[in-house]
Structure 1
Amino acid sequence: MGRAGRGRTVGALTVAGVLAGTALTGCGNGGDAAGHAQASSATGSSGAREQGTRAVRSAYDRTAEEDTARITLRVRTTAGGRTVAANGQGAVDLGDGDSVMTVTAQGQRIEQRVVDQVLYQRVPRGQAPDGRPWIRIDLRKAAAGQGAGAGSVSDPARSAAYAKAISDKDVTRKGTATIDGVETTHYRVAVDVADLPDGAALRRQVGPTLPMEVWLDEQGRIRRQQTDMTLRAAPSPSDRASAGASPSARRVTVRTVVDFTDFGTEVDAEAPPARQVADMTGKATEQGGTRG
């Protein structure tokens, strides 16, 4: 697989890392059933903020109770004056994060599956390594190889920690919005990075808080989640080699938007036959680390 092909693989790995496990089980603190409805009509009083916090913290559990959902994913990454967008549509198991999706990135449509935290992608014609139509990337090993820090935010399997990292001062009700025909209440959340997994490393990269927004329906379920991350990434080899290029870290911004619809939809995620799969975990880890 050529350099461009590897770049697409790593780009899609970012999408898969976000999706891989949109596993939401056990994330909230229970909350009360009326918390969301009360917060929707309340003012900016301390009581309303408490209700809003309970609504957001319990939203992960309420969403996970639906077991599965259709999902639309949009990831927009900007670095060095260049913006790369990747979009995905498919279905996800909210309990274990298994999924089936079609991802569009850099002009190509890619079929992918995530099974037991392993990403499988059907390689575009002419780019198959060893003539095998599928590649395999172990997302756990790839994330470990790229080091702790901002990468952990890209894995909503850790969304469990979001609910535990917010308090009343962190949640602001922004109003209402209609998403896919569903009335929702919009909350802005400032997640305390220190309370997230790999919090110390995250703080060095993204600062003390992680901005996040959620839109909850009348049942208190997440219909949309948006995460905005600005981090400092190590300069790439091409940056360092460029004449006059600064060796300092680059500023990278990542916006991830996940929409949930059609709760209860069927998810049939199975790994391709082993003989059709080439393992690219090592290359993806190396390329991801190079790109910072």
Structure 2
Amino acid sequence: MAAARRRRRLPRTAGAVAAAGCAMALVAGCGAAAGGGSAAAAAPATGGEAKGAGAPGTAGDPAAAVRDAADALVRAGSARVGTQMRMASGGTWVTVTGTGSFDFTAGRGRLTLVLPRDAAGAQEHKPVTELLTPGALYMKDRGEGVPEGKWVRVDTTALPDGNLVTGGATDPLAAAQLLRGARDVTLVGTESLDGTAVRHVRGTADIARAARLAGGGATPLAAAAKGFAVTGVPFEAWLDAQGRLRKLTEHFTYGPAATGVGVQATTSYDAFGSAVPFALPAGADIWTGKIVSAP
């Protein structure tokens, strides 16, 4: 599916975009078959919780701390994560929320996304289960045209946004890796976030710069660097005394600068070192048939 076609779909009615949760509006028809087999559950990672361990203060370079945030998460091993993606459509904001866990060492995790309710307040769509892996996104209960209980596999390196917004939630590790391209970083101050002392910073992350620093050829960030017309991503980050992200908000503009869709992605991180139950779907459970496009 051409990038231009993806972009044309985004600005449609709030209801259509919300029901899609981004995932259904953008990847319709793109679910390719994946290899079979299942993976064992990931082992618990190291890196314990350190709530209220004293204010991180203003010592050190906030820009360096932000650029090291992804490495700090890898050192922590894993975490419980929460996501929220808000999209501007026709002057209205629609929101997709998610909860789950992520293994930063293996680069994979599991999220359950809750899509917006309809105008009458009814829950139209079942929650969508997502498995995030390096280079691929698996979605269960993805929507029309996919049999119940089946999964859809999407190659995230082929998506023009690198799955920064497509899946309805920004990959928690990719969100942090984007900060490698941070510039114009300023320290807002020190605060308490859910009982943890944090350093609050803000700045702008450049997708293309982050992709260059990440290296590795065909990566989601490399795809995003080519697919986004606006590669500057304003952000706000809250870092604890160990340099780990506790909260990160990033503002994407998908499409042309003048008419692109505004997307605000917020990711929260806590319970570091938590176990991350994870198993890839068997090949027989991955849907390879026709997927109905968003209307």
Q: TM-score range by the shorter chain?
A: 0.5 to 0.7
Which TM-score applies when normalising by structure 2? Answer: 0.64
Count of equivalent residues: 234
Alpha-carbon distance change, 13 to 181 in structure 1, aligned in 2, over 3 angstroms: farther
Alpha-carbon distance change, 15 to 160 in structure 1, aligned in 2, over 3 angstroms: farther
Q: Which has the higher contact order (CA 8 A, sep 6+)?
A: 2
Q: Distance in 2 between matches of 1:86 and 1:122?
A: 16
In structure 2, the gaps of 5 or more residues are: 1-14, 28-53, 118-124, 212-221
Alpha-carbon distance change, 64 to 38 in structure 1, aligned in 2, over 3 angstroms: same
Larger helix proportion of the pair: 1
Alpha-carbon distance change, 77 to 121 in structure 1, aligned in 2, over 3 angstroms: same
In structure 1, the gaps of 5 or more residues are: 17-36, 43-47, 235-248
Q: CA deviation at 1:60?
A: 2.0
Alpha-carbon distance change, 231 to 77 in structure 1, aligned in 2, over 3 angstroms: same
Give the letter aligned to residue 152 of structure 2. R
Quote the sequence identity (%).
Answer: 24
CA deviation profile, 1:235-275 (whole Å, cap 9, x unmatched): xxxxxxxxxxxxxx733111001000001111121122332
Contact persistence 1:212–1:228 (CA under 8 A): yes
| Counterpart pick for 1:222 among 223, 245, 268 | 245
Indicate whether 1:190 and 2:204 are aligned. yes
Counterpart residue number, 2:34: none
Alpha-carbon distance change, 277 to 5 in structure 1, aligned in 2, over 3 angstroms: farther
| Counterpart pick for 1:205 among 218, 223, 229 | 229
What RMSD over aligned residues (CA atoms) do the two structures have, in Å? 4.0
Which TM-score applies when normalising by structure 1? Answer: 0.65
Contact persistence 1:12–1:86 (CA under 8 A): no
- Equivalences for residues 59-138 of structure 1 within 5 A: 59-107=69-117, 108=125, 109-123=127-141, 129=146, 131-138=147-154
Q: CA deviation at 1:91?
A: 0.5
Give the letter aligned to residue 188 of structure 1. R
CA deviation profile, 1:137-192 (whole Å, cap 9, x unmatched): 2232xx5254779869955654575344235xx11000122222211110002224
| Counterpart pick for 2:192 among 178, 184, 187 | 178
CA deviation profile, 1:80-119 (whole Å, cap 9, x unmatched): 3243211100101112331122110123422332345433
Counterpart residue number, 1:28: none
Indicate whether 1:266 and 2:275 are aligned. yes
Secondary structure, aligned partner of 1:269:
coil
Contact persistence 2:233–2:251 (CA under 8 A): yes
